Structure 1
């Protein structure tokens, strides 16, 4: 691979930013192709993949089965030159080839360079195009990638948002826009989600764009049955919570919460309408949080159902330390005894310190340090309540 790279670099123009991209790849292509009057007979694909492309022996053995028709390194070397011209390292290029061996068979000028020109026209930088090639592999060797990016970039709002989705779902760009992606987007809009909400949802669950439209509709119906109507502010989060989870899985989690939290059917709906992502929290975390909130914080199950977001926060890093501070201040008459625990837990860290720590630094000089210690998972002596 080092030998190939040295040869590639010698053919790169001194001012690539001022040279047309197709011209660059014509030079790389001509530099890498063997003379036409001396064909390379008996081309050993597996050895080429190992020694030139940088694949491991097992990777090369697997990839060579898809490249048995190759009888010359001409096109593969042109493709490697193309990837090097984009700025991919040898390891990155090897990863592309390992995942998509047929990338070595792509037409450099007819497809790859054409796609680079189109993507550049959409506003993508050279590093972004290189990153895209690494993420989507076989989609990059399809000329339709330009038209698909033309749709997806405005949908996600930025290239970085799109790349976050592609990292989770590299096959995103393989799906038909007219038959799958656009109908799903249209349905999400019917559910009251604006473009920004759709982008947020699909960054986390990109399969919402590529799933069968009937399945997406079924997920929306499931979210509604959990007490989150379409058009509500929590509907996006509810869709994310139920996305690609079976009915049996959802039913089992609801039953677990009813048993563990002693919630009625109505309280379950109240809790989910405010905090749908409870479905994604592990049973272990939920049980530990509930046990602390009832036994240590003194909360009633019904109170938790009406303020379920407290179950989202870290028990050790947020809920416990703030509970200790609030309890200490109340027992020493330093705050209103009716100050809401839910309100205190939901405060930002800055507001919590300003309202409940800083005002008492003279009366209770150890409070700030005790709180910091509690946030590390320890319980200071001053917080050792009876």
Structure 2
């Protein structure tokens, strides 16, 4: 699979249009077998009935879709599209999703558009299952003839098909953005801000719209990142952009104030926490409240201690921080580790290191510890972890 390389920016700036590739006959001969979709027996096309009878849409979805299909006089083209999608390997549920999302997909030309795109994507190295997922995630983008050149471009940027499909789950329309007018100028600006191509790729996977939005919006995000105290040359600048992406200054201020109040931080402490770990700004009010109650009320940590170690706030309370607290407290209560053993170190350790350091050495003195820890990670509270 394609990988990011040091010279990739040159390709991103000057990538030429893709050339036509292979024929429909070769494509259809390799089509994956699949159950044929229901074919309309009516010589006329009923825009509200067809999506229900042949695509599995609800009446409400079909009514909404019908406005985009009312010009059709015959079911022949929609039938051909459904047959093609079945041959490509899309399930009935996938087809329903495609038609509900983009009813005009039923108007696409199977030979001129769909077959040509599939052939081009196959030449880029995509498997038929990957192409089917692409259709399911971004149908409106797929029926555009530029899909092959755009996928080629994003493969160079993101490094793999999977890295392309991930952001499509979050923002299916980013694949349709004008590369010359929007994407390349945004990448050029982010490069000027000090981000590497790899940084931009990672940011795109997290916040795909950052490349497809207007340049002035990206410029505003950079200003917001700097406004929360993260300069462009900081190693946390990419994380800061992720945290403030598409948030207004008012919302950012409100989030900072909420963190300050819930964790009882001073202005200086909340500034430290946000600069060290900007992603804390993305937490919901409920999550922040639960984290505060746990770290301050249950664990007994001081607000200043948390402010200087905000990375703790980025982990799952139920799946990581609370179970590890139970283990450490159990070990301290039973004299198996020194009472001064730092909780932060236990939280930040990888799962493998945590088990090796806090579970395995006590297999004889606490034979149920591993089992109890696993139960705690599932949300249970074993008897041995119920402290009074």
- TM-score w.r.t. length of structure 2: 0.80
1:343-382 paired onto structure 2 within 5 Å: 343-365=345-367, 367-368=369-370, 371-372=373-374, 374-375=376-377, 376-378=379-381, 380=383
| Preserved CA contact (<8 Å) 1:25 1:109 | no
Are 2:162 and 1:147 equivalent residues in the alignment?
A: no
| Preserved CA contact (<8 Å) 1:184 1:216 | yes
Q: 1:179 corresponds to which residue?
A: 181
Q: 2:276 corresponds to which residue?
A: 274
CA 1:199–1:337 in 2, change beyond 3 Å: closer, same or farther? same
- TM-score w.r.t. length of structure 1: 0.81
Are 2:287 and 1:307 equivalent residues in the alignment?
A: no
| Preserved CA contact (<8 Å) 2:177 2:183 | yes
Greater displacement, 266-275 / 43-52? 43-52
- CA–CA distance in structure 2, aligned partners of residues 283 and 118 of structure 1: 46
CA 1:262–1:105 in 2, change beyond 3 Å: closer, same or farther? closer
| Preserved CA contact (<8 Å) 1:148 1:173 | yes
- CA–CA distance in structure 2, aligned partners of residues 85 and 317 of structure 1: 42
Q: Unmatched 5+ residue regions in structure 2?
A: 1-21, 30-41
1:129 corresponds to which of 121, 128, 131: 131
Q: 2:208 corresponds to which residue?
A: 206
CA 1:177–1:330 in 2, change beyond 3 Å: closer, same or farther? same
| Preserved CA contact (<8 Å) 1:172 1:210 | yes
Question: C-alpha offsets along residues 133-185 of structure 1, whole Å, 9 cap, x if unaligned?
Answer: 22222222221111111211111211111111112211112211111111112
Q: 2:387 corresponds to which residue?
A: 384
1:248 deviation in Å?
Answer: 1.6
Are 2:206 and 1:242 equivalent residues in the alignment?
A: no
CA 1:214–1:295 in 2, change beyond 3 Å: closer, same or farther? same
Higher helix share: 1
CA 1:24–1:47 in 2, change beyond 3 Å: closer, same or farther? farther
Are 2:73 and 1:101 equivalent residues in the alignment?
A: no
1:68 deviation in Å?
Answer: 2.8
Number of residue pairs matched?
Answer: 354
Q: Report which structure shows greater RCO (CA 8 Å, sep ≥6).
A: 2
| Preserved CA contact (<8 Å) 2:135 2:142 | yes
Aligned partner of residue 68 in structure 1, secondary structure: coil
- CA–CA distance in structure 2, aligned partners of residues 227 and 171 of structure 1: 32
Q: 1:138 corresponds to which residue?
A: 140
1:50 deviation in Å?
Answer: 3.9
CA 1:66–1:268 in 2, change beyond 3 Å: closer, same or farther? same
CA 1:228–1:50 in 2, change beyond 3 Å: closer, same or farther? same
Q: 1:62 corresponds to which residue?
A: 64
- CA–CA distance in structure 2, aligned partners of residues 317 and 374 of structure 1: 8
1:331 deviation in Å?
Answer: 5.4
| Preserved CA contact (<8 Å) 1:161 1:203 | yes
1:53 deviation in Å?
Answer: 4.4
Q: 1:6 corresponds to which residue?
A: none
- CA–CA distance in structure 1, aligned partners of residues 200 and 364 of structure 2: 49
- CA–CA distance in structure 2, aligned partners of residues 133 and 367 of structure 1: 48
- CA–CA distance in structure 1, aligned partners of residues 276 and 199 of structure 2: 17
| Preserved CA contact (<8 Å) 1:26 1:109 | no
Aligned partner of residue 69 in structure 2, secondary structure: coil
1:85-100 paired onto structure 2 within 5 Å: 85-100=87-102
- CA–CA distance in structure 2, aligned partners of residues 331 and 370 of structure 1: 15
Q: 2:233 corresponds to which residue?
A: 231
CA 1:257–1:122 in 2, change beyond 3 Å: closer, same or farther? same
- CA–CA distance in structure 1, aligned partners of residues 122 and 74 of structure 2: 31
Q: 2:77 corresponds to which residue?
A: 75
CA 1:172–1:292 in 2, change beyond 3 Å: closer, same or farther? closer
CA 1:263–1:119 in 2, change beyond 3 Å: closer, same or farther? same
| Preserved CA contact (<8 Å) 2:121 2:148 | yes
